[in-house]
Amino acid sequence: MALIEYEDATPEVRAVYDDIMAVRQTDWINNFWKALANDPESLRRTWENLRTVMEPGALDPVVKEMVYLAVSVTNGCEYCVASHTAGARKAGMTDAMFGELMAVTGMANQTNRLAVGYRIPVDDRFKE
Amino acid sequence: MALIEYEDATPEVRAVYDDIMAVRQTDWINNFWKALANDPESLRRTWENLRTVMEPGALDPVVKEMVYLAVSVTNGCEYCVASHTAGARKAGMTDAMFGELMAVTGMANQTNRLAVGYRIPVDDRFKE
Amino acid sequence: MALIEYEDATPEVRAVYDDIMAVRQTDWINNFWKALANDPESLRRTWENLRTVMEPGALDPVVKEMVYLAVSVTNGCEYCVASHTAGARKAGMTDAMFGELMAVTGMANQTNRLAVGYRIPVDDRFKE
Amino acid sequence: MALIEYEDATPEVRAVYDDIMAVRQTDWINNFWKALANDPESLRRTWENLRTVMEPGALDPVVKEMVYLAVSVTNGCEYCVASHTAGARKAGMTDAMFGELMAVTGMANQTNRLAVGYRIPVDDRFKE
Amino acid sequence: MALIEYEDATPEVRAVYDDIMAVRQTDWINNFWKALANDPESLRRTWENLRTVMEPGALDPVVKEMVYLAVSVTNGCEYCVASHTAGARKAGMTDAMFGELMAVTGMANQTNRLAVGYRIPVDDRFKE
Amino acid sequence: MALIEYEDATPEVRAVYDDIMAVRQTDWINNFWKALANDPESLRRTWENLRTVMEPGALDPVVKEMVYLAVSVTNGCEYCVASHTAGARKAGMTDAMFGELMAVTGMANQTNRLAVGYRIPVDDRFKE
């Protein structure tokens, strides 16, 4: 699938690219968006959702990026791990934070399986 | 697999239970540990790892619990979602934080698949 | 989806049920097959494959059942964990073997994620 | 693991290769089968199952290929995404169909996690 | 997490509920939306995305629902399997179509793992 | 993330590397550990756990390595599949054993999904 560069993009696609660069305060577009641009409606919808979901709110941007990274690691998505490691770094993730994030992610994946394998019933207190 | 209650536990298992309650400042043990107690060595090792990984460090406890929850949701582990929702709530997660955490987790799962489906090459800038 | 009991089954389905009971040296059919029987061709094909794959060969039946269980745990399939725990027990899995199996399964799920998160390049020696 | 080429294959393996090329009306064998040929019994069984499952029936071949692709994307299998994108294209998947397929696949992965994270009880009407 | 009924909902949430019932030509709201309503912005955004993605286009509604079901099965989401089985049935999925859908989904999950386990290199022809 | 070579490592990291080489009776360190060494505490903890979990016990080392491989295949972890294929081979896995291991792993992934898709209730006999 072709990656659609800015200079080859339709005005509709360029408008999304412009917004991505403005929101992220950067001057380039990464391949994810250049690929999605093959389906301009998906590009627009995905970007709008991502922008809304990732903007500062009750959670800090760096926390949101780290959660995104932990999920991407769990799903084994190479592209997403690369891009969200960069995103989390840019938002302030230090080496120490990355180390702890991976430790928590690894631990969760381990105990998730133990809970399934031992077929553990949910405690009444956890049922609210 | 039997859930091993405190009163039926060996001294070795009781020592772990005591440490869990002391560290968590609580007076009960949830089923996960009561099941693992069938293999005392696994119980001890898993608890020691979890205690170390989850203690305050470069990341806040509530952030660690939310990452744990996001991973558990991604893996579809019912028990873990129940127990770590409780854990994150206890550590300070509000309704607004939960709502944003789920939104980020859902969004990550969506774009992870788009990145795979569109077979997007990793940008050179993301390769470090 | 209805579970199709022996007495309500067509001769084609009964023939599969009979073979399952003969191979497993048992006198009952578990729900998995009763559900698949809604699509007799799927029932026949799935059973023939399973019978072939699980018969003694270079790997012992108990090893095959434990591998099946480790995969089912990793996928979070509740039904499969229940049925293959029973299968592995019947084939000779002891409590100690189960404990170690879960420890290995949990550990693998943990380090799988660390390898992805740290984006570790495959060593040349592992490329054969 | 060596890829076994037609000229190096045993008659048993060649017979499977011949059937693959005849059914697919093509003159080459892709690497998946050349690797499986290291275990001729697995090669034969896997091909027979795939041929049966993918032949026209209640579902169109292009629908079957798109479902195969959606599953492969969800599992993050790079090889399978590449081969089944080709397969679906050959069966008639257009750019517009691919765009919608990815949108549905991404959306399903998102809402699957929301349903788990919000711990939503199954509606009585969905229990049949 | 409370399920928010129509009579207890804010006007903002009721507007989404009304649109869901209008688009689906039904008179009830399933639990998924009643749970998401705890975060009205997530409710609105998720519904708008779902409505857009699932509307008739290059793919038939029944095909979209079956793809959704195949993904939900692969992710092991019990709620989603229940709701999208109902959705696909309503859109026209017959017993025969369901049987073939499950057969394709199962087969894809099997060969996805074989491709990974045999470490199969992507054929040049599949790289476009 | 830099791979930390023995000559550039701190004494703390070197001590772990030395133990890895001693236990595995080898003279090199694979990239997994060189990457984890960026977080010495994670390196030490992960190695100690792995060493304990993988040592001979109720299960043979080759069985443990094969289970590790089956899980890694199911998770789609390329690095882990490469390293644990090597580990299992070293522990005695033959071509025939590998072929059967992949067949069981593939079959489990297939039937796991069928059990979910057909929404099969757990048999009373499997509830213990």
Integer CA distances (angstroms), F50 to A61, C63, C115, in order: 34, 21, 14
Contacts of A99 in chain F (CB under 8 A): 38-39, 41-42
How confident is the model at residue A82, as a pLDDT? 98
* Stretch E88-112: mean pLDDT: 98
Token pair of E126, please?
A: 């599949």
- Contact assignment for C42 to E99 by CB distance below 8 Å: yes
Residue F96: closest C-alpha in chain D: D39
Q: Residues 23..62 of C with a Cβ closer than 8 Å to F: which?
A: 28, 30-32, 35-36, 38, 42, 46, 49-50, 53-54, 57-59
Q: How far apart are CA F48 and CA F45, in angstroms?
A: 5
pLDDT value at position D117? 98
Average pLDDT over residues C27-51: 97
Nearest CA in chain F to D76: F76
Asked if D33 contacts D17 with a C-beta cutoff of 8 angstroms, the reply is: yes
Residues B116, D80: Cα–Cα separation, whole Å: 11
Retrieve residue C89's tokens: 């027990």
C-alpha distances (whole Å) from F9 to each of B86, D39, E95, F36, F45 are 41, 43, 62, 12, 17
CB atoms within 10 A of CB B104: 25
Nearest to F45 among B1, B52, B128 (CB): B52
Output b/e per residue, E97-112; b: 16+ Cβ within 10 A.
bbbbbbbbbbbbbbbb
Give E122's pLDDT tier (boundaries 50, 70, 90): very high
Dist CA D113 CA D118 (whole Å): 8
pLDDT digits (tens, 9 = 90+) for F65-98: 999 999 999 999 999 999 999 999 999 999 999 9
Check pLDDT > 90 for residue D86. Answer: yes
CA-wise closest residue to A67 among A30, A104, A25: A104
Please tell me the distance from the alpha carbon of residue F61 to that of residue F64, in angstroms, as a whole number. Answer: 5
Mean pLDDT of chain F: 97
Confidence of residue F3 (pLDDT cuts 50, 70, 90): very high
Count of other CB atoms within 10 angstroms of residue F20: 19
| Other beta carbons within 10 Å of B49 | 20
List, in order of start, the domains of chain C with CATH numbers: 1-55 (1.20.1290.10), 58-128 (1.20.1290.10)
> Given pLDDT bands bounded at 50, 70 and 90, which one contains residue B30?
very high
Q: Is A124 exposed, middle or buried (0-12, 13-18, 19+ CB in 10 A)?
A: exposed
Two tokens at A69? 């990274």
Pairwise CA distance, residues E33 & E48, whole Å: 12
Q: Extract long-range pairs of F41-45: CB within 8 Å, 24+ residues apart.
A: F41/A99, F41/B52, F42/A99, F42/A102, F42/A103, F42/C114, F43/F13, F43/F16, F44/F12, F44/F16, F45/B49, F45/B52
Distances (CA, A) of D73 to B28, B29, B115, B119, F114: 43, 40, 9, 9, 18
Mean pLDDT on C44-49 = 98
Q: Do the Cβ atoms of D75 and E74 come within 8 Å?
A: yes
Q: What is the dihedral of CA F39, F42, F46, F49, to 10 degrees?
A: 150
How many Å apart are CA D58 and CA C42, to the nearest integer?
Answer: 14
Check whether E128 has a pLDDT greater than 90. Answer: no
Q: HEC string of chain A?
A: CCCCCHHHCCHHHHHHHHHHHHHHCCCCCCHHHHHHCCCHHHHHHHHHHHHHHHCCCCCCHHHHHHHHHHHHHHHCCHHHHHHHHHHHHHCCCCHHHHHHHHHHHHHHHHHHHHHHHCCCCCCHHHHC
Single-letter amino acid, residue C116: V
CB E29 within 8 A of CB E21: yes
Enumerate neighbours of C (3 or more CB pairs within 8 A): A, B, D, E, F
Question: Residue D1 pLDDT > 90, yes or no?
Answer: no
* Cβ-nearest to E113 among F82, F106, F116: F106
Among C72, D128, D92, which Cα is nearest to E98's? D128
pLDDT score of C1? 77
Decide if E103 and D127 are in contact by the 8 Å CB cutoff.
no
Q: Which residues of E fall within a CB distance of 8 Å from D120?
A: 31-32, 35, 79
- Asked if the model's pLDDT at residue F128 lies above 80, the reply is no
CA nearest E79 in D: which residue? Answer: D122
- What phi and psi, each to the nearest 5 degrees, are found at residue B72? -65, -40
Chains that touch E (3 or more CB pairs under 8 A): A, B, C, D, F
F1 confidence band (pLDDT: 50, 70, 90): confident
Site of tokens 């699980």? C54
How many percent of chain B have pLDDT more than 90?
A: 98
DSSP string, chain B: -----GGGS-HHHHHHHHHHHHHHT-S---HHHHHHTTSHHHHHHHHHHHHHHHSSSSS-HHHHHHHHHHHHHHHT-HHHHHHHHHHHHHTT--HHHHHHHHHHHHHHHHHHHHHHHTTPPPPGGGG-
Q: Which residues in chain E (63-122) have CB-CB distances under 8 A to chain C?
A: 76, 95, 99, 102-103, 106
Cα D117 from chain centroid?
Answer: 29
- Whole-number Å distance between alpha carbons of C91 and C100: 16
What is the amino acid identity at position F4? Answer: I
Residue B1: the pLDDT is 76
- What is the average per-residue pLDDT within B97-104? 98
Predicted local distance difference test score (pLDDT) of residue E1:
76
Chain C residue with the nearest C-alpha to that of E106:
C46
- Distance set, CA F62 to CA B4, C64, F77 (Å): 32, 13, 20
Please report residues of D whose CB lies closer than 8 A to that of B82.
Answer: 119
Residue D114 reports pLDDT greater than 80: yes
| F67 with C72: Cβ contact below 8 A | no
**Contact check, Cβ <8 Å, A81/C116:** yes
- The rounded distance, in Å, linking the Cα atoms of F73 and E119 is 9
E121's enclosing H/E stretch is none
What are the b/e assignments for D85-95, b being 16+ CB within 10 Å? bbbbbebebee
Q: What is the pLDDT of chain C when averaged over all its residues? A: 97
Nearest Cα residue in chain D from E122: D79
Amino acid at A32: F
For B48-66, what is each residue's pLDDT tens digit?
Answer: 999 999 999 999 999 999 9
Taking only the tens of pLDDT, chain A with its 128 residues reads 799 999 999 999 999 999 999 999 999 999 999 999 999 999 999 999 999 999 999 999 999 999 999 999 999 999 999 999 999 999 999 999 999 999 999 999 999 999 999 999 999 999 86
Cα-only R_g, chain F: 18
Q: What is the least distance, in Å, from the CA of C11 to any CA of chain F?
A: 22
